């Protein structure tokens, strides 16, 4: 899992609640990414950030928000607007652009709705 | 939307046999990457092959890329039980190097 940590491993969300997933990397990577994985499917990009204080929407950004105040950290908030949040969330980082460099993934956070 | 599609969806072989997985994609790419995921874990990068390369090797792994057919294959030789995992191809489309699209994966089971 490289030098990327995600917490918690499991997270439970109640209806109408916002929850924040943590992602920290000590690889000195500039770029960080959040993906969502549903059972039997591949990964879908939620948000990515190439540098501090800048981030871009991916394929499925609706109902999610991010911040990039520090190079090492890229937290993801799942808001109450995300109607189907149950999934496995993976954070990744790379030295440069995703397409040019190896992406290193964290161990993932499994989000469940109560 | 997914860009790559792996085939087969599931593959079961005996230890020592070779495993071949295929990936097809739809639009022009800069490169294609293969990743491995053990159940419930993060992904691990295996190989990156650029659009101007046709074949690449890494240990027991061999990847080919045919841009005319928009397809790639991953061959694992002399498979081991520890190779049991899901394998994903990921492509980066030409006009956005940060937009990496993953297929649904091939679930490989290697029986001891």
Q: Which residues of B touch A48 (CB under 8 A)?
A: 98
DSSP, collapsed to helix, strand or coil, labels residue A52 as coil
The kind and range of the H/E element at B65 are strand B61-66
Least confident among A11-25, B35-49, B92-106: B92-106
pLDDT of B94 over the 60 cut: yes
Q: Quick one: how far is CA A49 from the chain centroid?
A: 10
CA distances from B20 to B37, B70, B83, B87 (A): 16, 17, 12, 11
Q: pLDDT at residue B96 above 70? A: no
Residue B101: which pLDDT band, with cuts at 50, 70 and 90?
confident
A99 to chain B: which residues are within 8 Å by CB? Answer: 30-31, 92, 97-100
Alpha-carbon A18 to chain mean position: 15
pLDDT level of residue B95 (50, 70, 90 thresholds): low
Q: Which of B44, B98, B104 sits opposite A99 (nearest CB)?
A: B98
> Phi and psi dihedrals of A79, rounded to 5?
-90, 170
Strand order in the sheet with A64-66: A4-7, A19-25, A76-78, A64-66
Which two tokens mark B12? 């079961």
* pLDDT digits 0-9 by tens, B17-75: 999 999 999 888 888 999 999 988 899 999 999 989 999 999 999 999 999 999 999 99
Is B97 in contact with A58 (Cβ distance < 8 A)? Answer: no
A1 pLDDT above the threshold of 50: no
Chain B contact for A100 (CB, 8 A cutoff)? yes
Which of the four pLDDT bands, split at 50, 70 and 90, describes residue A98? low
Which SS3 state, helix, strand or coil, does residue B83 take? helix
Entry field: residues in chain B: 112
CA A58-A95-A75 angle, 5° bins: 50
| Whole-number pLDDT of residue A30 | 93
Distance (Å, whole) CA B97 – CA B71 = 19
pLDDT of residue B53: 95
Q: Three-state SS for A80? A: coil
Q: Do A4 and B1 touch (CB under 8 A)?
A: no
Residue A40's pLDDT band, with cuts at 50, 70 and 90, is: confident
- Residue A15's pLDDT is 83
Nearest chain B residue to A1 by CA distance is: B42
The three-point CA angle B8-B28-B52 to 5° equals 90
């Amino acid at each position: 899992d490289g030098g990327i940590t995600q917490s918690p491993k499991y997270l439970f969300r109640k209806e109408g609640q916002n929850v924040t997933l943590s992602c920290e990397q000590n690889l000195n990577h500039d770029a960080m990414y959040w993906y969502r994985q549903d059972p039997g499917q591949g990964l879908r990009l939620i948000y990515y950030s190439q540098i501090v204080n800048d981030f871009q929407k991916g394929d499925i950004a609706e109902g999610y928000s991010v911040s990039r105040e520090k190079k090492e950290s890229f937290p993801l908030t799942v808001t109450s607007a995300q109607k189907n949040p149950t999934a496995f969330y993976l954070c990744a980082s790379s030295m440069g652009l995703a397409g040019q460099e190896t992406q290193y993934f964290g161990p993932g956070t499994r989000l469940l709705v109560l | 939307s997914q860009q790559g599609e792996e085939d087969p969806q599931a593959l079961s072989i005996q230890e020592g046999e070779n495993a071949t997985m295929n990936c097809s994609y739809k639009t022009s790419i800069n490169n294609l990457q293969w990743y491995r995921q053990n159940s419930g874990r993060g992904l691990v990068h295996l190989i990156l092959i650029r659009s101007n390369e046709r074949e690449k090797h890494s240990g027991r792994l061999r990847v080919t890329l045919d841009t005319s057919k928009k397809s790639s294959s991953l061959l694992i030789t002399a498979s081991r039980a520890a190779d049991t995992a899901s394998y994903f191809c990921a492509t980066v489309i030409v006009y956005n190097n940060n937009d990496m699209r993953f297929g649904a994966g091939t679930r490989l089971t290697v029986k001891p």
